[in-house]
Amino acid sequence: MKRCLLTIVCLTALAAKIPAMAETVADDIFVDDFSSKSRSQKEWTIGTCPKTASVQYVKDGKGGNRCVKITSSEKDAVRITHHLTGLDPNTFYRITAKVKTQDVQEGRGAVLYLDVLDKDSDQPWNASKFLYGTNDWQEVYMDFVSDETGETYVCCGLGFPGGTYNGGKAKGTVWFDDVRIAPTPKNALYIRESKHMILAIDPKHVSVDDKTVEQWLQSLDKAYEAYEELLGTTPYNGAKIRILTTPGMEEGYWALAGNPILWNDNADVKGLLEKFKNHKDWGFGILHEIGHTFSAGTAVGEGYGAWNWNDEIFANFRMSYALDKWEAVISQNTFYMGDNIAYYKRAYKKSLEKGNMESGDAQHYMLMRIAEVYGWDVYKKAFQRLYKTPDKELGKLDTDYDKFVCLMKYLSQAASEIMGRPVDVMHTCYTPKELEMIKAALTK
Ligand SMILES: [Ca+2]
Ligand SMILES: [Zn+2]
């Protein structure tokens, strides 16, 4: 990866090719104020637009100037898309636009995003702040990272084509004007880079000194290398993992995995950095998201990882290995210093009392017991074998319990090899009652 600041400097030269417009700033690589309808029709593609929706270039802008109006009476994802080419690879860009809304409801509301959901992108959920209801003109933005192709598709949309919990799609009316794309301004993101990470966050979150941030990133590097050691592979062909704060995320979400890992701009980013400074807490949330990027489906690819019945458990489980290895401090309400198993044991005890093992944390605790008895090498062996085994060779895995049994089989094989005698971890590390409860929880 080239240094980001360097590439931003290079791009200012490139921007000189753009014809001067009234408000064009030197860095802009694309600007449209929709003043020329024929140009807009050429530069933008109108996406799927059912009868219940419309996309029009209308003179509804400030002072009667032209803008684009998207309206839909049904929940949908209606958008205009601009195909952007010639970007410097692996560089942060910012798209800004003026937006006005009327009665926008549901999904991701009125939103800017990249049309990359079906293009095998690592950042499909990236978006600007979601606007709902009726609002006068305001500016919104999103930062994104260009990939190796130097191309992407930027969208001004009503609704979002993919669904997180709220289904993405929206209805109402939105107007977009003054769309601008430029390398993200130098001062707009606080960027720090380490061996495996590139942190890019809104400077408002940074109250600690640079050295503290760098030390935190070194901790993430150590976790990253532990994940690699456990699984024998790295995601995104070993490319650095970016962590980017974003204003476009569902309420209640803390972050979304991918590259970049999208970190909710409304999350307590500042608090996490301060907890590292004051308590050397490595930061559960980010370790969890990095953990997700190491899932077999992401790190190896499609067609792998069918044995994994719940990556919320395994993202944390990968973390447990890293924390154990480095005796790191982590907090989940209380601080755990090199004994993060205690956190999961509490969930286990509660589950045992209730007679219900649905809790992922309780299942996590029991998986950790196997490592306590036979050592983490059992997991290294089993995971690395599983990460090399395509789903079609795993046999039929209809229920989550089948997946659990599949993992147990690989763990038993690994434990047998390491111990030099036959070991069945399901019977040496679980009680019959626990297995009964796990079976009930995972066959629902
Ligand atoms: Ca305009
Ligand atoms: Zn998660």
Q: What is the 3-state secondary structure (H, E, C) of the chain?
A: CCCHHHHHHHHHHHHCCCCCCCCCCCCCCEEECCCCHHHHHHHCEECCCCCCEEEEEECCCHHHCCEEEEEEEEEECEEEEEEECCCCCCCEEEEEEEEEEEEEECCCCEEEEECCCCCCCCCCCCECCCECEEEEEEEEEEEEECCCCCCEEEEEEECCCCCCCCCCCEEEEEEEEEEEEEECCCCCCEEEECCCEEEEECHHHCCCCHHHHHHHHHHHHHHHHHHHHHHCCCHHHHCCEEEEEECCCCCCCCEECCCCEEEECCCCHHHHHHHHHHHCECCHHHHHHHHHHCCHHHHCCCCCCCCCCCHHHHHHHHHHHHHHHHCCEEEECEEEECCCHHHHHHHHHHHHHHCCCCCHHHHHHHHHHHHHHHCCHHHHHHHHHHHCCCHHHCCCCCCHHHHHHHHHHHHHHHHHHHHCCCCCHHHHCCCHHHHHHHHHHHCC
Structure tokens at 338: 């090199």
Question: How remote is the CA of residue 295 from the centroid of ligand 2, in Å?
Answer: 11
The ligand that comes nearest to the alpha carbon of residue 289 is 2
- Judge whether 86 and 14 are in contact, CB under 8 Å: yes
pLDDT for res 25 = 59
Q: Please report the pLDDT score of residue 371 as a whole number.
A: 97
CA distance 143 to 141: 7
Centre of ligand 2 from the C-alpha of residue 10, in Å: 37
- Cα(171) to centroid(ligand 2), Å: 29
State the distance from the centre of ligand 2 to the C-alpha of 25, rounded, in angstroms.
39
Q: How far is CA 282 from CA 4, 185, 212, 252, in A?
A: 25, 29, 11, 22
Cα–Cα separations (whole angstroms), residue 312 to 94, 140, 291, 308, 329: 31, 32, 9, 10, 20
Other C-beta atoms within 10 Å of 134: how many?
12
Beta-carbon neighbours within 5 Å of ion ligand 1: 33-34, 61, 65, 67, 177
pLDDT in the model for residue 437? 97
The predicted structure's pLDDT at residue 166:
79
Cα of 48 from ligand 1 centre, angstroms:
23
Q: Which ligand lies nearest to the CA atom of residue 97 in the structure?
A: 1
Ligand nearest to the CA of 261: 2
CA 175 to chain centre: 28
Å from CA of 291 to ligand 2 middle: 8
- Predicted pLDDT of residue 291: 97
Between the CA of 288 and the centroid of ligand 2 the distance, in Å, is 6
CA of 58 to the centre of ligand 1 (A): 9
Distance 18 CA to ligand 2 centre (A): 42
76 C-alpha vs ligand 1 centroid, how far in Å?
Answer: 25
**Nearest ligand for residue 67 CA:** 1
Q: Which ligand is nearest to the CA of 315?
A: 2
pTM of the entire structure? 0.89
Name the closest ligand to CA 59. Answer: 1
Q: Report the separation in Å between the CA atom of 91 and the middle of ligand 1, taken as the mean of its atom positions.
A: 28
Ligand 2 mean position, distance from CA 148 (Å): 27
CA of 192 to the centre of ligand 1 (A): 37
> Please, are residues 246 and 262 in contact by the beta-carbon 8 Å criterion?
yes
Tens digit of pLDDT at every position of the chain (444 positions): 333 333 232 333 333 333 334 455 568 999 999 999 999 999 999 988 999 999 999 999 888 999 999 999 999 999 999 999 999 999 999 999 999 999 999 999 999 999 887 777 888 899 999 999 999 999 999 999 999 899 999 999 999 998 777 789 999 999 999 999 999 998 999 999 999 999 999 999 999 999 999 999 999 999 999 999 999 999 999 999 999 999 999 988 999 989 999 999 999 999 999 999 999 999 999 999 999 999 999 999 999 999 999 999 999 999 999 999 999 988 877 777 777 888 999 999 999 999 999 999 999 999 999 999 999 999 999 999 999 999 999 999 999 999 999 999 999 999 999 999 999 999 999 999 999 999 999 997
Q: How far is the CA of 139 from the centre of ligand 1 (A)?
A: 13
> Which bound ligand lies closest to the C-alpha atom of 164?
2
